[in-house]
Amino acid sequence: MIDAAQLQHQAMAAAPLPAQAIAKWDVLRELSVARADFNLTDRDLAVLQVLLSYYPAVTLDQPQKMVVFPRTSRSASV
């Protein structure tokens, strides 16, 4: 059974990204502050930090190009 929170999450996931660029570290900082609202653990945030560190640009402004290919040896320290 799907509850209201799941429906809200699905709607947010389907919503388009803002047209403006967003600083990747600001995203991490804001998610860290709102982690309880998104049910994020310290490990979730640590993995996101590692993935963001592989993204070459300072801002997140091209969703179609936001794929990173991390090397296992560097990310194993998380």
The domain ranges of the chain are 4-75
So what's the pLDDT on residue 72? 58
The closest of 40, 65, 69, 38 to 53, measured between CA atoms, is 69
The closest of 25, 16, 11, 30 to 57, measured between CA atoms, is 25
Q: What is the DSSP string of the chain?
A: ---HHHHHHHHHHHSPPPSS-EEHHHHHHHHHHTHHHHT--HHHHHHHHHHHHHS-SSEE--GGG------HHHHTT-
So what's the pLDDT on residue 66? 72
> One digit per residue, pLDDT tens: the chain, 78 residues?
678 888 887 877 777 766 788 899 999 999 999 999 999 999 999 999 998 988 888 988 876 677 777 665 555 555
